[in-house]
Structure 1
Amino acid sequence: MNILSSEWTTGLYLVAAVCFILALKGLGSPKTARRGNAIGAVGALIALVTVFLSTQLDNILLIVGTMVVGAAIAAPLSRRVQMTAMPQLVALFNGVGGGAAAIVALLELPHVESAGASLAVVFTVLVGGVSFSGSCITFAKLQGLIPTKPLIFPGQRWVMALVLVAAVALGAVIVTNSWILGATILLAVGLIAGVLLVNPVGGADVPIVISLLNAFTGLAVAASGLVLGNVLLLVAGTLVGASGTILTRAMASAMGRSVSGIIFGAFKGGSTAGSTEISERPVRSSSAEDVAILLGYAQRVIIVPGYGLAVAQAQHTMAELVVTLEKMGIEVIFGIHPVAGRMPGHMNVLLAEANVPYEVLQEMDEVNPQFKTADVALVVGANDVVNPAAKSSPGSPIYGMPILEVGLARQVVFLKRSMRPGFAGIENDLLYEDQTTLLFGDAKDSLTKVLTAVKNL
C-alpha cells in the first residue's frame, strides 16, 4: 500500500529514529528505563506502520500471520521469564535478530546491482550467522544445557583459521558473481564460526560475549539497511552496534579484562571457567539470630547483592529487612558491582522491583571508600565481585578485576547456599578471615529468619 509519499515516509522514519535514540538515553538509568522502553516501543510501532503504508507488499497475509504467531510466542515468554533468566532471553532475542538480518540479505542478493551492495550482503550474512549461532551457544551455557566451562578441542585455532579463509574466499566470489549458492554456504560458515568463537568462552565471560554478539547483530542489521536501501534499518542497526560495543567495553573494563583477551584468550585457556568443587577448609558459621544481633546493634550496614539473591527471588524480603533496620535508626546502603548478577544493571532492576529507593543504591567507586566505616557488610549471593584474589593472586582468572572492598568492614556476613565457588570457579579467601561469618541456606529463607530475629530484638 503506497499511501504515504516519500517525504512522509522519510519524516516518520526520522521520528522513529529519534525515538530509538531517546530510548537508549532512557535505558541508561534505572529511574528512566521504563520510560525509555516505552519510547522505544513507540518508535518501533511507528516504523512498522510506516513500512506497511509506504511499501507495496505482495504477501501481506503471510507477513501479518507471521507477526501474530511471533507475538503469541513472545508476549507470554517475556511475562513469565524470571530475572535470573533475563541474560538468556536477551541472548536468544539477539540471535534471532542476527539470523533474520542474514536471511533477509541472502534473499535480497539476486536483486542487488552493485559490488558495494553485494559486499554488504556478504557482511550481513556472515556476521548475522555468527551472531545467531554464537547467541544460541551463550543461551545454552547460561541455561545449563551445555557445560559453562570453556569447550576446546585440539587444533581448534587451525579450524577457526580455515573457516575465516573460507569466508573471505566465498565473499570475494559472491561480490563478483552474486552467487546464491555461495551465499548460502557462507551463512553455514558463519554459523560454524559463531560456535567456534563462543565455545571456548566460559564462566563469568559469557555475559560479556552476549553483549559483543549484540553489537554484531546491530552491525548486521545496519548492513542489511544498506542492502535494502532503508535508512531506518541503517540508523537502528548502528545504534545497537554502537551501544553494544560500548557496553561490551564497559563490562570488560569492570572485570579488568580486554575484549580480545576474553575472546581469543580462551583458545589458550585464559577464559574464566566455572567449578563445582567444594572447599573443605574450616569457616565460622552462624545462626540467623546471631546475624540479627550483628545487624541490630550496628550503626552502618552495607549490603552487597549478587546472583544468589536473584536466584532465590529474595529481593522483597531484603527490602523489608532494610526498612526494618532503618526504623531502628541504622543507616543502610547497597554496594552494586557493575557485573553483579549476569548483566549490567541486573541488581538495580531486581531491587527496583522490590521498591528499594534508588538513592541507597551506590556504584562500586562510590561505595568502596565507605566500607571502612561500616559495622557490617552483608554479602547476599555474591562471591567473585568481592573476592580479594582479584587484587592479590596474579594467576587467578579474575586477577585485575575491580572488586567491592567488603573486607574493610568491621564484620562481614556472607549468606551462601554452600561453599561452592562462584561463577569464576575459584575460592574466596575472605570466607576464612576472622571477621567473616557465614549463614548457610537459601537466601530468601535465610533473610526471612534474619528479619524475624531482628524484629524480635
Structure 2
Amino acid sequence: MNSMNVIAANADWFYLVGAILFVLTLRGLSSPKTAIRGNRLGMAAMTIAVITTFFLADGPILWLIIGAMVLGALVGLWKAKTVAMTQMPETVALMHSFVGLAAVAIALATVLHTEQAHSTVARLELFVGCFIGAITFSASVFAFGKLAAKSWAKTVAGSWVKPVQALLFIAMIGFGILYFTTDSLTAFYIMTLLAVIFGWMWIAPIGGGDMPVVVSLLNSFSGWAAAGIGFTLGNSMLIIAGSLVGSSGAILSYIMCRAMNRSLLNVLFGGMGTAAAVAGDDDGSPKTYKSGSAEDAGFLMANASDVIIVPGYGMAQGRAQNAVKEMYALLKDEGVNVRFAIHPVAGRMPGHMNVLLAEADVPYDDILEMDEINSDFASTDVVLVIGANDVVNPSAKQDPASPIFGMPILEVTKAQTVMVIKRSMSTGYAGLDNSLFYMDKTMMIFGDAKKIVEEMVRSINGTGH
C-alpha cells in the first residue's frame, strides 16, 4: 500500500521521467545506429506510464484490467514473433487502427457514463478526439486491407467520389458542432458514424503508389487520437506521447511528399491513380527488352569497380535481404565498392528498406539516401535494382504526361549498366510502365529475388579473383 501511495503522490514526477524518455526515444529512432537503444527507451517510458496510471486509477476493476493487459501482451508477443517482414506495413496500419478505436471507445464511455452535462471544453475535447479517432480507425483498417491485398479493400474511383467525400466531411463537422453546442448524444453518435464512413471513403480512392505517405499520415493521426484520449482522461503523459507521435508523423509525411515533389493535399485528394497509366510518348508499338541470367549478372558485378544496389518491395516480397547481404559481403571481399541507394518512398511504408537491410546487418555506412547518392550514379559501373519500379522510373523526369512527372527518382539510368530483378514485366504498385526496362543498357533478370540473388552469389564465388 505504501508503494502505491508513493507512486500516486509522485505521479507527475514519474510522468515527467516518462515524457523525457519518450523524447529520447524519438531521438534514438532517428538513426539506424541508435534505433535499438531508442526502442528500449520507449519500452521503459511506456512501462513507467502504465504502472503510474494503474496506481492512479479510481476504483479500478483489477481482474478486468490485468486480464486485458495479459491478453494484449500475449497477442503482441505472438504477432511480433510470427509477422513476416513482408507483412510489416499492413501490421503497422492495423496497429494504428487500434489506437483510433481506443479513442472512440473512451469518448463513447465518457459520454455515456457521466451523469452531469459536460463543460464546453470537455465537449470540444470529445468532439475532436472522437472524430479523429474514428477516421483513424476506418482509414487504417482500409490501409491494412489494401496493403495485405484483401478482396474487401477495393479501390473506388469516379467523378462521384470527391462530392461524396465533401458531403460526408461537412455532415460530420455539422453534427459535431451540433453536439458541441447542445450536448446532444444523438448528434454525437451520428458524427462518430459519419467519421468512420468518411475515413474509409477518404483512403479508398488513393493509389497504391501513395500508400507509404498514407501509412505515415495515419501514424500521425493515431498520435493525435492518443493526445485526444489524454485530454479526455486528464492524463498528461498520454497528451505528451500522443503529441510527439502526431507531430513526428506529420513531419515525416511532409518529408515524403517533398521526396515525391507533391503536396500532401494532392496525395490525399488527388493521388496518382491505380489504373495502369501509359506514358505520353507511348505509341502502342511492341517494346523490346534484353534479358539475362543470374550468372551473367554475377559475372558483371564481380568484375565491376563500383556497384550500387537499389532495393524495392520485390526484395521484401522475396525475403531476399539476407541473400543480398551475403552478396554484398562477397563483393566487398573481392574489392568492389558496394553501396545501397534508398528512395524515401521505396516499399510500402516509411523506412521499409532500411528496416530490411538493418535486419540483415548491412553496415549503416553503406546505406545511403537518395540525396546522398544520386550524384554517384554517373560514375557507377553496375546498378542492381531489386524489385523496384516507380522510384527508378525515368518518366518522372522525361514525360510530362506521366502521373509521377516531377517526382525525384534514383537516377540509375546514368550508370554504365543497369540490371533489374523482377518476377515479370508487370507494372509497379502505382500501375505505371517503366521505360528503364527497355533501354539498351538494361538487362532484365526474371524470377524470385531471393533465388536470383543466391544464384548470383554462386556465380560470384565461381568468378572470384
Please tell me the TM-score bracket, short chain as reference: over 0.9
Count of matched residue positions in the alignment of Structure 1 and Structure 2: 453
- The one-letter code matched in structure 2 to 1:421 is T
Deviations 1:219-259 (Å, cap 9, x if unpaired)? 12212222221111111111111011011111111111111
- Structure 1 residues not aligned, in runs of 5+: none
The 10-residue stretch of structure 1 (54-63 or 94-103) with the greater mean CA deviation from structure 2? 54-63
Q: Is the 8 A contact 2:153 2:204 kept in 1?
A: no
- Structure 1 match to 2:230: 225
Where in structure 2 are the equivalents of 1:26-65 lying within 5 Å? 26-65=28-67
> 3-state SS of the aligned residue for 1:32?
helix
Deviations 1:337-361 (Å, cap 9, x if unpaired)? 1111112221111111111111111
- Structure 2 match to 1:263: 268
Where in structure 2 are the equivalents of 1:169-318 lying within 5 Å? 169-265=174-270, 270-273=271-274, 275=276, 281-318=287-324
Give % identity. 43
d(CA) in 2 for partners of 1:353, 1:224? 34
One of 89, 93, 96 as aligned partner of 1:94: 96
d(CA) in 1 for partners of 2:357, 2:53? 39
Deviation at 1:6, TM superposition (A): 5.5
Please say if 1:135 is aligned against 2:140: yes
Deviation at 1:148, TM superposition (A): 7.4
Please say if 1:116 is aligned against 2:121: yes
- The one-letter code matched in structure 2 to 1:370 is D
Deviation at 1:261, TM superposition (A): 0.3
TM-score normalised by length of structure 1: 0.95
Q: Is the 8 A contact 2:310 2:384 kept in 1?
A: yes
d(CA) in 2 for partners of 1:370, 1:148? 40
d(CA) in 2 for partners of 1:377, 1:148? 36
Deviations 1:1-50 (Å, cap 9, x if unpaired)? 86246650000011111111111111111111111111111111101100
- The one-letter code matched in structure 2 to 1:118 is R
Q: Is the 8 A contact 1:148 1:274 kept in 2?
A: no
* Shift in alpha-carbon separation, 1:14–1:194, aligned structure 2, 3 A: same
> 3-state SS of the aligned residue for 1:190?
helix
d(CA) in 2 for partners of 1:279, 1:363? 36
Task: After the TM superposition, list the runs of 4 or more consecutive aligned residues in structure 1 that deviate by more than 3 angstroms.
Answer: 4-7, 110-113, 146-150, 274-280
* Shift in alpha-carbon separation, 1:172–1:37, aligned structure 2, 3 A: same
Deviation at 1:207, TM superposition (A): 2.1
Where in structure 2 are the equivalents of 1:365-444 lying within 5 Å? 365-444=371-450
d(CA) in 1 for partners of 2:126, 2:319? 45
Deviation at 1:324, TM superposition (A): 1.3
- Structure 1 match to 2:13: 11
- The one-letter code matched in structure 1 to 2:59 is L
d(CA) in 2 for partners of 1:342, 1:10? 39
d(CA) in 2 for partners of 1:225, 1:151? 35
- Structure 1 match to 2:156: 151
> 3-state SS of the aligned residue for 2:10?
helix
- Structure 2 residues not aligned, in runs of 5+: 279-283
* Shift in alpha-carbon separation, 1:17–1:170, aligned structure 2, 3 A: same
Please say if 1:334 is aligned against 2:335: no
d(CA) in 1 for partners of 2:311, 2:152? 25
d(CA) in 2 for partners of 1:385, 1:341? 10
RMSD: 2.0
Deviations 1:178-211 (Å, cap 9, x if unpaired)? 3333322221111011011111111111221122
Deviations 1:69-94 (Å, cap 9, x if unpaired)? 22222211122111121111111000
Deviation at 1:275, TM superposition (A): 4.3
TM-score normalised by length of structure 2: 0.93
